[in-house]
Structure 1
Amino acid sequence: GRKRKQPIDDSTTTTIASTSKAAASTPTRANGNSTTSAAINNPQKKPKKNKITVDVNDDLKVKLLDDWEWITSQYQLLPLPKPKTVENILEDYHNHKIEENKKTKETNGVRHRGRGRPAKNPQEEILRENLANVKSLFNEVLGTQLLYRAERQQYFDFRAANSGADCSAYYGAEHLMRLLVILPRIVETTDMREVKAEQLRDTCQELISFLGDRPDVYFSEIYDNAPPVYIRLSENF
């Protein structure tokens, strides 16, 4: 592998819409049919569309668009598995929030009283549920909505060599960000209750901020040249 070039610097004025376009329209499906489950897209129902938005800061837009350019124009691929995978990121974020909430309670003088286990914290239950949903959704749509053409053969080969493994166990922050950017479009296709959609939005917004504060920990600066066969095969996808 070799070190990545300097990022494209025209993305500081890029809107979230163009970032979404780069992350959502370029990836291609393995075939003409969506593989998302009924829970994510049930054509038998016509649910009320949940309108949510997420904000991505300029530094993360740079990373998203530079990643897109690096892969689609330069045929450079992220080595797999990532040192910090989606599962690692979600676990780190969960632990960060638990510790943050603990410090907040201590600052406010809130302590558990009495014997037995402390009562369940509704906010922590919501956090766990939302992070589980993010992981499940990532594993479900990675192969159909989050890959660029040049990445598809790498995906097929890695899946074949790691049968049964979740995508979240070897892809990382770059692909997770692609999911978070198109999350509003995905949520619109669900029958998720409005309050649940808003809770998921809030968790994902904080997760985006968490990643944005730690780019050196989670984002890669090393890409590998795509094998010539990958480049040839990408023309067929």
Structure 2
Amino acid sequence: MSQQKDLPYQVSERVLCYHGPLIYEAKILKAEYFDSKNASSGVTGQHYYIHYKGWKNTWDEWVEESRILKYNDANLSKQKQIKEMYKSKKSSTNVIMRKPTLDLTTTGTVSAATSNIEKGKKRKRELSIEGKEDSTKRPMITLTVPEQLMAILVKDATYIAKSQMLIPLPRKPSVIDITNQYIQYRREGKGNQTLVEGIMEEVLRGLRLYFDKCLGARLLYKIERSQYKQMKIQHEDLSNCEIYGFEHLLRLFVQLPAIISQANLRSDVTGSLKLYIDDFLNFLKENIKEYYIVDYRKIE
């Protein structure tokens, strides 16, 4: 057990907590340090057992410290901003998102804004994610996620959280397949040809590494965890990038700015990195029909 006086959050404290992409008011019931032996998600470190205000006790759960925010005016404003963004997205895609049943851990604040990057281009949704409260002092990368990809994230949440359906695995094409196809796409002279090929391949290697490391801990909905454990047993020789595909890859981009901010990169480096990731996101948008195969199935 952790010493309460040393923790940033205390038992019985009123807090805000991420549950899926949204933020809810909650109360801390317990605090415990999870080591590698007792962290069911594979995430070690300080955890808190929380109760969401107005929810049944069956929703009480252990969460990572990174999912919790202090209950203050600044974070209440973030909560409202995110809620409004998803309300707007829900209306534009005709998707009903009720109180979520998901456990997709977002480690920071999702904020959206429209931008005109180039004259004549359609407006895109900008997703910037801040980590803990002091992360605003670090250089932050802002990813320009096309509206079409944002809509798929909402639909994905609805199929899984609301309809209790899963994506059949192993997924084809896999994350490995998609990144390899992107490399071939660039070799054919497509995409932003001002980007350096060697650097692009390094960026893709980094994305695959982040995906393999983050999937089990941060990118899964609660009802997907049993499937994840089953896949690791049945396909122990395969990486997460070889098992999962397009839908889970998109979820990584919600996490990516917070992950990158923890690396303490210089602002000029994060600015360059954004150009490479933006080109990859544009490739994903252009290939939605090939990669997004609606094949969700009821849990057996």
TM norm. shorter chain > 0.5: yes
Q: 1:198 to 1:223 in 2, by over 3 A?
A: same
Shift, 1:198, TM fit: 2.6
Shift, 1:154, TM fit: 0.4
Give the match for residue 188 of structure 1.
261
Letter in 1 for 2:144: D
Shift, 1:208, TM fit: 1.2
Alpha-carbon contact 2:170-2:242 (below 8 Å) kept = yes
Give the match for residue 11 of structure 1.
89
TM-score (norm 1): 0.67
Structure 1 residues 1-237: aligned runs within 5 Å = 11=89, 26-28=103-105, 49-100=138-189, 123-227=196-300
Where has structure 1 moved over 4 Å in runs of 4 or more? 101-105
Q: 1:103 to 1:65 in 2, by over 3 A?
A: closer
Unaligned runs of 5+ in 1: 1-8, 15-21, 30-45, 106-121, 228-237
> Deviation digits for residues 9-59 of structure 1, max 9, x if unmatched?
962767xxxxxxx9xx84159xxxxxxxxxxxxxxxx9x622111122222
State the superposition RMSD in angstroms: 2.9
Give the match for residue 123 of structure 2.
none
Alpha-carbon contact 2:149-2:285 (below 8 Å) kept = yes
TM-score (norm 2): 0.54
- Secondary structure at 1:100's aligned position in 2? coil
Determine the C-alpha separation between the residues in 2 that align with 1:71 and 1:103.
34
Higher strand share: 2
Alpha-carbon contact 1:77-1:225 (below 8 Å) kept = yes
Unaligned runs of 5+ in 2: 1-86, 93-99, 107-134
Higher helix share: 1
Alpha-carbon contact 1:51-1:184 (below 8 Å) kept = yes
Determine the C-alpha separation between the residues in 2 that align with 1:206 and 1:103.
6
Alpha-carbon contact 2:192-2:279 (below 8 Å) kept = no
Aligned residue pairs, count: 178
Determine the C-alpha separation between the residues in 2 that align with 1:102 and 1:142.
28
Q: 1:223 to 1:101 in 2, by over 3 A?
A: closer
Letter in 2 for 1:199: S
Give the match for residue 33 of structure 2.
none
Q: 1:144 to 1:103 in 2, by over 3 A?
A: closer
Alpha-carbon contact 1:27-1:147 (below 8 Å) kept = yes
Letter in 2 for 1:176: L
Shift, 1:62, TM fit: 1.3
- Secondary structure at 2:189's aligned position in 1? helix
Letter in 2 for 1:77: L
- Secondary structure at 1:55's aligned position in 2? strand
Alpha-carbon contact 2:208-2:241 (below 8 Å) kept = yes
Determine the C-alpha separation between the residues in 1 that align with 2:282 and 2:269.
20
Determine the C-alpha separation between the residues in 2 that align with 1:222 and 1:159.
21
Determine the C-alpha separation between the residues in 1 that align with 2:244 and 2:280.
16
